[in-house]
């Protein structure tokens, strides 16, 4: 969830959906996935090294915080400038479209609706192994 009180965006996050911020051509992930894998990786218990394989996939699907269950939201904020973009998306997008490609699509400056459609279509073309929801907010000068 994002609440906007210009020029600040307050981000409240639960689970493995993500929020991204595009500023000055650089895409920054504002949220961290709340999964067993991320918690163990943050502790240094597990890495992306060889032999992780299926264990990594299982742990990435195990949410440690979720709506309807135990919830521990993370809260953050970002100061916006005109020309910036915010992206909220489910993990269906990020499983199929890498961050650098998301950044290129956001940088095109196309309208928010067109950008959302492009990201969803790209995910569907690549197999869409999970649900995909995309919301884009662009901030243009008045």
DSSP per-residue codes, 10-64? EEEE-TT-EEEEEETTEEEE-----BHHHHHHHTTS--SSTT-HHHHHHHHT-BS
- According to DSSP, the β-strands at 18-23 and 26-29 are antiparallel
- Summarised one tens digit per residue, pLDDT across range 5-36 is 999 999 998 877 889 999 999 999 998 776 66
Domain architecture of the chain: domains with CATH: 2-34+72-138 (3.60.40.10)
Tokens of 93: 């997008």
- Summarised one tens digit per residue, pLDDT across range 83-120 is 999 999 988 899 899 999 999 999 998 999 999 999 99
CA 50 – CA 48 distance, rounded (Å): 7
Element (H, E) at 88: strand 85-89
Tokens of 42: 């943050």
pTM of the model as a whole: 0.80
């Amino acid at each position: 969830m994002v609440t906007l009180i210009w020029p600040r965006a307050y981000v409240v996050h639960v689970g493995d959906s993500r929020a991204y911020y595009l500023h000055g051509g650089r895409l920054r992930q504002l949220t961290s996935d709340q999964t067993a894998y991320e918690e163990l990786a943050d502790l240094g218990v597990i890495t992306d090294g060889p032999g992780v394989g299926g264990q990594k996939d299982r742990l990435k699907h195990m949410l440690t915080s979720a709506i309807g269950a135990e919830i521990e939201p993370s809260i953050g904020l970002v100061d916006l400038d005109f020309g910036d973009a915010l992206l909220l998306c489910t993990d269906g997008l990020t499983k199929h479209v890498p961050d650098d490609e998301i950044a290129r699509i956001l940088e095109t400056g196309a309208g928010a609706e067109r950008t959302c459609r492009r990201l969803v279509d790209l995910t569907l073309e690549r197999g869409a192994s999970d649900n995909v929801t995309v919301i884009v907010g662009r901030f243009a000068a008045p």
